[in-house]
Amino acid sequence: MKLRTVLFIFYLIQIGFTLTMKYLSYEGDVSPELKERILKFFTEEDLRKGIEYSRSGFFASILSDLIDFIVAGIFVFTSVSARLEEKISEKTGGRFYITVLLFFFGFSAIQFLLAIPFQYYFGFVLEHRFGFSKMTFVEWLVYTGKSLGLGIVGGALGVLCVAFLLKKFENAWKFLVPIASLVFGLLFSVLFPILITPLFYDYKPIAEGSLKKKINTLCETANIRVENVYVIDESRYSGHTNAYFTGWGENRKIFLYDTLIQNHTEEEIVSVLGHEIGHWTHNHQIKDIALNTLEIFLLCFLLGYLFLRFKKEGSVRLKEFYSPSTLPFLFLLLSLFGSLTRPAWSAISRFQETQADEEALNLTGGDKKSFIDTEVKLAKDNRSRLNPNRAEVIYYHSHPTTLERIEFAQRWKK
Ligand SMILES: [Zn+2]
């Protein structure tokens, strides 16, 4: 069988699989046993609200996925990509890096124009319908414009950097690309709160008072400096609550949404912080970056090998490996491999989240009540789906379900 046919079959399987998962996700898990366990902590109303929110925009999201697949398919299985590069190359007089940039902009512009109605529907219409978003249309436009601008600048730099390595180092690129991505990953993690967060939020160190005292005690137990806890003003955008951390080593910072502080007791906030510190003390971010680098390293070898095989067969129109028109082909391969490795990444992430939950309970001296109350409140405030489909959880979810986390806390022992 021709490689092109094999690729096309995998492409179709991926479309079918994605749509099947969408359907399963819509259905959720309707077993009466699960419902009984959920109703120990939540009301029928909570359950219904979560289902309603997660089901909203079902057809739009299917349409959006299909459009993405079709665009990718057209670029890979027809000569559109190669012809676009030739057209651009004519205009730029064959100058390589400008051609790469313009190709990238053209390819992104097509995807962007097709995605914008969906962004508006999901990010503005639905978020308002469910009472989450507080942005006016203009504010939403500014917010989306900023995110898009950052994406384009970041993407363009990444593509230029990879194009440079591929063109300059015919063999060594397989080692240099993973190293470059490692360096960028570490840099990005440190620079994100300094360069990117201020573009969207105002943030300041957590205020003096009883909460800070409690956080102090928590941080002493965990051996962490308190200066690194910040509050960001999510409330200007939405009612969603969250906490996260960025950076590594001495540069690590914890961010708490102000919405979290408004809606939770001090003990509950301490529990959330304990979870974030758990990620910190277990070095999850460094481990993820290391694993990621290893994956990129393996992918580089695989992509290099597959490119040569496809090129030899000649059934997919490919120029050089470093040609911009090869990009959609590589993206498709990456998305196929991504689908295969996704469940492993999700499982690792869920394992780490449980470790962090355990740390939260350890650090707060086993304050199960605050932990469980937090989970219940977070799920209610964010209209979480309480009965997600099992296959969806295994394949996509980065966190255990709310119920699993609550039951884990109940079982926790020193
Ligand atoms: Zn976490």
Q: Are strands 229-232 and 253-257 parallel, antiparallel or unpaired?
A: parallel
Which of 8-17, 134-143, 216-225, 309-318 tops mean pLDDT?
A: 8-17
Q: 263: pLDDT confidence band, cut at 50, 70 and 90?
A: confident
Three-state secondary structure call for residue 224: coil
Query: For the residues 213-228, what does the mean pLDDT come to?
Result: 82
Q: Average of pLDDT values for 65-87? A: 92
Instruction: Please indicate if the annotation marks 264 as binding a ligand.
Output: no
pLDDT score, position 227: 65
Q: Which of the 8 DSSP states describes residue 193?
A: I
pLDDT tens-digit series, residues 5-61: 999 999 999 999 999 999 999 999 999 999 999 999 999 999 999 999 999 999 999
Selecting among 85, 127, 276, 375, the annotated active-site residue is 276
Q: Where are the domains of the chain?
A: 3-197+281-411, 203-275
Q: Please give the average per-residue pLDDT across 401-411, as a whole number.
A: 96
pTM of this prediction?
0.87
Contact 368, 413 (CB under 8 A): no
353 annotated ligand binder: yes
The rounded Å distance from CA 276 to ligand 1 centre is: 6
Q: Which helix (H) or strand (E) holds 245?
A: strand 243-246
- Residues, the chain, total? 414
Known binder of ligand: residue 399?
no
Burial class of residue 113 in the structure, from the number of CB atoms within 10 Å of its CB (0-12 exposed, 13-18 middle, 19+ buried) = exposed
Secondary structure (3-state) at 231 = strand
Which of 218, 280, 217 minimizes the C-alpha distance to 244?
280
Name the residues around ion ligand 1, CB cutoff 5 A.
353, 356
- What pLDDT was estimated at residue 102? 93
Q: Residue 413 has what pLDDT?
A: 87
At 226 the pLDDT is: 62
What is 203-275's CATH topology?
Zincin-like (3.30.2010)
Burial environment of residue 370 by CB neighbours within 10 A (0 to 12, 13 to 18, 19 or more): buried
Using CA atoms, how far apart are residues 45 and 27, in angstroms rounded to an integer? 17
Buried/exposed code over 38-69 (b: 16+ C-beta within 10 A; e: otherwise)? beebbeeebbebbbebbebbeeebeebeeebb
CA 87 to chain centre: 34
DSSP codes joined into one string, 30-43? --HHHHHHHTTTS-
Neighbouring-strand partners of residue 230: 205, 255
Q: Is the pLDDT of residue 212 over 90?
A: no
pLDDT at 220 over 90: no
- Cα(353) to centroid of ligand 1, in Å? 5
Q: How far apart are CA 84 and CA 162, in angstroms?
A: 20
Would residue 357 show up in a list of annotated catalytic residues for this protein? yes
Residue 203 phi/psi, 5-degree rounding, is: -135, 150
State pLDDT tens for residues 160-189: 999 999 999 988 999 999 999 999 888 887
To the query of whether residue 45 is one of the catalytic residues in this protein, the response is no
How many Å lie between the centroid of ligand 1 and the Cα of residue 413? 20
For 133, which DSSP code? B
Q: Compute the distance from residue 212 Cα to the ligand 1 centre, in Å.
A: 21
Confidence band (pLDDT; 50, 70, 90) for 246? confident
Taking the C-alpha atoms of residue 233 and residue 250, their distance in angstroms, rounded to an integer, is 24
pLDDT at 67 over 70: yes
- Mean pLDDT score across all residues of the chain: 90
Residues 6+ apart with CB under 8 A from 399: 349, 350, 353, 405
Task: Average the pLDDT over 225-237 and give the result.
Answer: 82
Rounded to whole angstroms, how far apart are CA atoms 36 and 403? Answer: 11
Nearest partner of 402 among 19, 29, 58, 131, judged by Cα: 29
Q: Reduced to 3 states, what is the DSSP secondary structure of residue 342?
A: helix
For residues 19 and 65, the answer to whether their CB atoms sit within 8 Å is yes
**Residue 286: per-residue pLDDT:** 85
For residue 279, report the distance from its CA to the centre of ligand 1, in Å.
7
Check residues 252 and 281 and name the one with the higher pLDDT.
281
Instruction: List the strands of the sheet with 243-246, edge to edge.
Output: 203-205, 229-232, 253-257, 243-246
Query: What is the rounded distance in angstroms from the CA atom of residue 176 to the CA atom of residue 167?
Result: 12
* Percent of the chain surpassing pLDDT 90: 60
Of 339, 377, 403, the closest CA to residue 29 belongs to: 403
327-363 and 402-411 helices cross at what angle (nearest 10)?
A: 30
Amino acid type, 25: S
Among the options 357, 359, 373, 375, which is catalytic? 357
- Please determine, for residue 247, whether its predicted confidence score (pLDDT) is greater than 80: no
CA 397–ligand 1 middle distance (angstroms): 12
| Average pLDDT for 69-98 | 92
